[in-house]
Structures are given as structure tokens and as C-alpha cells.
Amino acid sequence: MLVSQLRRLTIAVTAFALAGVLAWGQQQQKSPWKDRAEYDLYNSILKEKDPSKKLQLLDTYMKKYPDTNFKLNVYLMYTQTYQALKQPEKMYAYAQKILELDPENIQGLYFLTSLTASMAKTDPDFLARGENAAKKLIEKISKMQKPAKLSAEAWKKQRDSLLILGHQTLGWIAMTRKDNREAERQFREVLKLQPRNGQVSYWLGTVILAQRNPDKQSEAFFHFARAAALTGKGAMPEQARQEVDKYLRKIYTTFHGDESGLDEILKLASQRAFPPEGFVVKSKEQIALEKEEKLRRENPMLYMWLNMKKRLQAPDGVDYFKKEVYNAALPELRGHLIAQSPPRRPDTLVLGISDRSTREVTLKLVDEAFRYPAPRGTLIRFQCVPRRFTQQPFNLGFDCEKAKVKGWPPPPRRRRTAPSK
């Protein structure tokens, strides 16, 4: 998916045209042409529009004039012709020939840089040549002055397009070598120059995530969201966007615990290339820790109970009960009444502490029963002695003195009956 998109890049050298044809000199001894036939053949090559016929003319020309003074121009025309014929291997070979004649040639550097990523070869020599070409291209373009015939706007557009190509190629090479930090640096440069580039946003997210740096995890999610959410100019193809969106949802849910907040991140990422300062996606562990800390502050009783319950439910929970909980002087606990027995004068109460419906504790009154029942859901406070425990089903049993059980409602009012006449 990634390589095929690069192959669709248009490799057109419009910024730098080929040198014009030198006129046939009046004095033959001073002319750069071998003879008039060379001059005519060269001009016929320039005029030919059909790439297959043009290639035949170029081959004929080089067979007749292997030592031509216009070899550099001919190699450039070969490269462009093979481009039209969609033969990248031949393009690459002639781009190398150009740089052998002129290592600083802009067109040769451009072609070699473009082809490095689009051909997607990964052998060390190939990557090294591409890296060298991309660095030289960036260096030369950075130092060039605006041509007099170009407007400032047109020059900036052409200059930026070549800088983008150079940095994108260096980023791709570094990513291929698994030098993720260098790849990150290069891809950032691309997005500064070309914010609407979904493919590079995806690559940037990939190399950031590969660094396994917890401090950068959130930014990786943002760049994946950018690749998935960006539409229109600079967006990835629709199918690729859907694949990125599916991948993002999977890794986000694994990290965050669910998809909460993801739609907001996708909306934000569609509007900008980089996350705002302070952007953070919290891990499910961090969320759980924050909830636990909030519970500890706001409801210390429930916090204590949940931690104790967790210990009791562990594989060694029975041993923990015997050593740490049995007969322990626990602080006051609170729970909602779920069941009571016997129905009229209850002395056994089943409560839920974590919520109103989970049976967790059973209180056994050891001195006297209540004289009447209480409504289901009544909030009961108690400070009793734990004496019994079962893991399946979970239940912690307490022996209680009636005075230590608070919150039992007053007796219901008796209805007055009208006196009989």
C-alpha cells in the first residue's frame, strides 16, 4: 500500500528544462556537432512526441555518435523517455549516468531521489546512493537563488516540492533501515512544508510508535488519526484510509481501554498536521489509577472495601482471610440492604457494598433480631467482626451486635381503624 502510492508520484522535471539546442555554427571547425547529420538527428529527437519512436532515435544517435558533446542532454532525454514508457529500472540507470558525468546535476539528483522510494529496493548500496542524492538535492536547492524569469510564488512552489521530495526520501530510507528517530526528523520536515500529506503522517506515526517511548505514544495516535481523517488534497486513497482507521481503532482501544475520545481526536487531526501542545491520550492503566485515587479521596470506605475484596478474590484469598481479616477490627462499612431473614423479625442481613445489587456481605445479629423488616435498598452502617468467608459465591460474613448496626428505619406507623358504630 505504501510503496504503490509512491510509485504514482509524477516524476516530471518541469522546474529545470533541458539546455537548448546549439545552432549549427557557420564555421564547421568551431561547431560542437560532428556533422550536419548529427545536428539534424538531434533536432528530430527533440521534436518527436511518441516515446517509443523517440527511444529508437536516441539509440540510433548514440550508436552513430557515442562521443557526442551532448551526452548529458541525451542521457536526460533517455531518462524522460523511459519515464514515459514506465520503465523505472532504465530511468534509474540513466540517472546514474547523468551523475557520473555531473555529480551536481539537479535533474540527475531529482530522478535518483524520486526513484529510490518508488522502486522500493532495500539493498544497502541502493539506499546509500539514494541517500547521497537526496542530501545533495536538498543542499543545492537550499542554496539556489530564484531564477530571474520565475515569480517568487512559482519559485517557492518548485523549491518546496524538491525539498519535500528530498526529506521524504531520506525519511523513507531511514524508516527502511529502522533508524526511527532519523525517519521521524525527516518526516517532520516534510509536514512542515506540506501539512496535507496523509501518507507521511501515517509513516510518522509508524516510526514514532516503533520507538516504544511512552512519552511519544499519544503523538503516534494523533498522526495515525491524521492519516485516517484527512480527505481531499493530500489524502491517502480511500481504501488505505479505511485500513489506517481500522488499525488506529485497534491499537487505541488496546491502549486506552475503549474508543472514548477517539472521534474528537480524529476531528482535531483533520484540521492540523501536528497535535497541540499538551495533547495526551491516557492509558487504561492511568485511567484506572486516577479513578482509584479519586475514589480514595472521595470515598475512603469504598476504596478500602474494594481493595480488601480484590485480595479476598485472589488465588490466596482464603489464606488472606484467615491471617488478615478474620476477627480483625475493621472500620465502619456501609452497604445497601438486599435481603433479610426471617421476613418479620430479621436477624440475618445481606448487603451490597460495591453497588445496590451485588450480594457481598452477610450480617448475623448475635444478641437480638430487629422487631420489624426494613425496605430493600436501606443504607446500613455497621462495624462488626468478620468471622466467615466463601470465595464462590463471594461472601464475607460478620457477627454483629445489634447496637453496632446503624440506619435501621423506625417502625412503620400503624393505620388507625375507624371506631365501629
Q: What average pLDDT score do residues 262-289 get?
A: 95
45 and 10 housed in the same domain: yes
186 and 220 housed in the same domain: no
Q: Which triple of cell numbers denotes residue 284?
A: 487504561
Residue 337 has pLDDT above 60, yes or no: yes
180 and 223 housed in the same domain: no
Residue 308: what pLDDT?
A: 96
Residue 314 lies in domain = 299-406
Split at pLDDT 50, 70, 90, the class of 312 is: very high
Q: Any idea what DSSP says for residue 2?
A: H
For the stretch 246-263, pLDDT in tens is: 999 999 999 999 999 999
Residue 319 has pLDDT above 80, yes or no: yes
114 and 248 housed in the same domain: no
270 and 310 housed in the same domain: no
Q: Which triple of cell numbers denotes residue 340?
A: 433479610
Q: Enumerate residues 6+ apart whose C-beta is below 8 A from 419.
A: none
Split at pLDDT 50, 70, 90, the class of 420 is: low
**Order of all β-strands in the sheet with 405-406:** 385-390, 395-400, 361-365, 348-352, 333-341, 379-382, 405-406
312 and 391 housed in the same domain: yes
Any domain includes 414: no
Any domain includes 199: no
Q: What average pLDDT score do residues 339-345 get?
A: 95
Residue 411: what pLDDT?
A: 86
57 and 180 housed in the same domain: yes
Number of domains in the chain: 3
Any domain includes 415: no
Residue 417: what pLDDT?
A: 61
Pairing label, strands 333-341, 379-382: antiparallel
Any domain includes 292: no
24 and 166 housed in the same domain: yes
For the stretch 113-156, pLDDT in tens is: 999 999 989 999 999 999 999 999 999 999 999 999 999 999 99
The last residue of one of the domains, among 153, 169, 194, is 194
Directed axis angle between helix 300-313 and helix 284-298, to 10°?
A: 130
Q: What average pLDDT score do residues 227-254 get?
A: 97
Any domain includes 339: yes
Q: Any idea what DSSP says for residue 103?
A: T
DSSP SS3 for 390: strand
Q: Which triple of cell numbers denotes residue 145?
A: 537563488
| Rounded Cα distance, 338 and 325, in Å | 23
266 and 317 housed in the same domain: no
Residue 3: what pLDDT?
A: 37
47 and 164 housed in the same domain: yes
Q: What is the domain-level CATH number for residue 332?
A: 2.40.50
Any domain includes 359: yes
| Rounded Cα distance, 91 and 113, in Å | 12
The last residue of one of the domains, among 172, 194, 216, is 194
Please calculate the CA angle 205-208-214 and round it to the nearest 5 degrees. Answer: 120
| Rounded Cα distance, 383 and 411, in Å | 23
* Measured torsion, CA atoms of residues 250, 255, 256, 257, in degrees rounded to the nearest 10: 70
Burial class (CB in 10 A: 0-12, 13-18, 19+), 111: buried
Q: What is the domain-level CATH number for residue 100?
A: 1.25.40.10
- Whether omega for the bond prior to residue 343 falls within 30 degrees of 0, making it cis, is no
145 and 178 housed in the same domain: yes
Any domain includes 294: no
Any domain includes 416: no
112 and 169 housed in the same domain: yes
CB 208 within 8 A of CB 224: no
β-sheet bridge partners, residue 363: 349, 398
